[in-house]
Structure 1
Amino acid sequence: FTPDEIYFSADGTLAAAGGLSRVPTDYSPSRRTTARPIWIWDTATGQLRATIPPSNLRVLGFAPTGQHLLTAGNADTELVPTGVVGWNPLTGEKTFFVQEMRAEALSIAANPRADILIARDAENRLGFWRSPTAERIGTLQALAQGEWLVTTPSGLFDGSPQGWSQIAWRTADGPLSASPGEIFFNEFYRPGLLAELIAGRPP
């Protein structure tokens, strides 16, 4: 086995390799990429710490604290559905699953405490998720000419003045009836909301 890439935890104590090969091999039908296990080793002893069964998963790397190994891909097994999965690198057990994240995402970021994951969603927005529960706590939209908007499921928002114009409130009259965002500006505008989300302190 020759790994395409090897991923190390931030403290250098763990290494991971395997998963979906980035290069077609002569051993796969029609020279397609092959699904392989993901192996995790202790770098000091060379001991194999955990093995994740073969599936169409691509390793993205370790979360900053090393508490999770992050993978993405379109799995064909019942063990791992399509989406992004976090694994305990010491046991190989699945710790969380986020279906909203783009499975083909090239990278997933995390805040310094590794309790908030940040990645693109299916609509190319930047989403914020709690890593233990996969609860979505916010969304950041990058708009034209440097404008931006960040929102939470509870309706709080922050952003540039032009970003605010993207907000509309659905009224009780029906799904096609909406009111401009300025109506509830004082109730839901939250300066510094983005920093709170990154810090893992959603209001």
Structure 2
Amino acid sequence: MELIENIQFVNIIEFLGTFAFAISGVRMASTKNFDLFGAFTIGFVTAIGGGTLRDLFIGVTPFWMLNPVYLWATLLALLFVLLFKNKVVRLQYTFFLFDSIGLGLFVVVGAEKTLAMGFAPWVAVIMGTITGSFGGMLRDILITQIPLIFRKEIYALACVAGAIFFTMGYALDLNIVVNEVATASIVILTRILAVKFQWHLPILKGEKNKL
């Protein structure tokens, strides 16, 4: 019941996550010299991709089809990049920052919405991970580069860690807002520390084809 009553705050988190992920998508599109429509499309797909797949899996109408605010959030992100392009487009750190923020916020939304629908905690962990990482994977595919989730950089595991923390906090009846903020912080901090200290999983190396 507490999760359902908290839905308005979740919507705020989802909007902020959409805005952050859309900025990361628009910023990446700028590196490929996309036009404004192309940049908007990449930003929108990045922002709604994970949440759309989550909603389809748990059997509800995709969130962005119920409220046009997410389209406006993407447009706002495009305007933000245009207004501050010297700082946003040219600095690699800005992509990493907004991508990490979007990741953390969407993990919270994915896990919380799944639990509110009555699914088991392990399903919430998977849905939280999908919500956080799938949009970025679509972004990378559309701009023709290997998705971050498949590279050595810690990405999906940060989502898993955050989603596990959230489900544990929920089971222990931790204050919902504290749980949300802590979960997002764990995901963002894990990403930052992983990049700073170059944490990564072992790389699977196969034999090169011999001509």
State the TM-score bracket (shorter-chain normalisation): under 0.3
TM-score (norm 2): 0.23
More strand per residue: 1
TM-score (norm 1): 0.24
More helix per residue: 2
Structure exhibiting the larger radius of gyration computed from Cα positions: 1
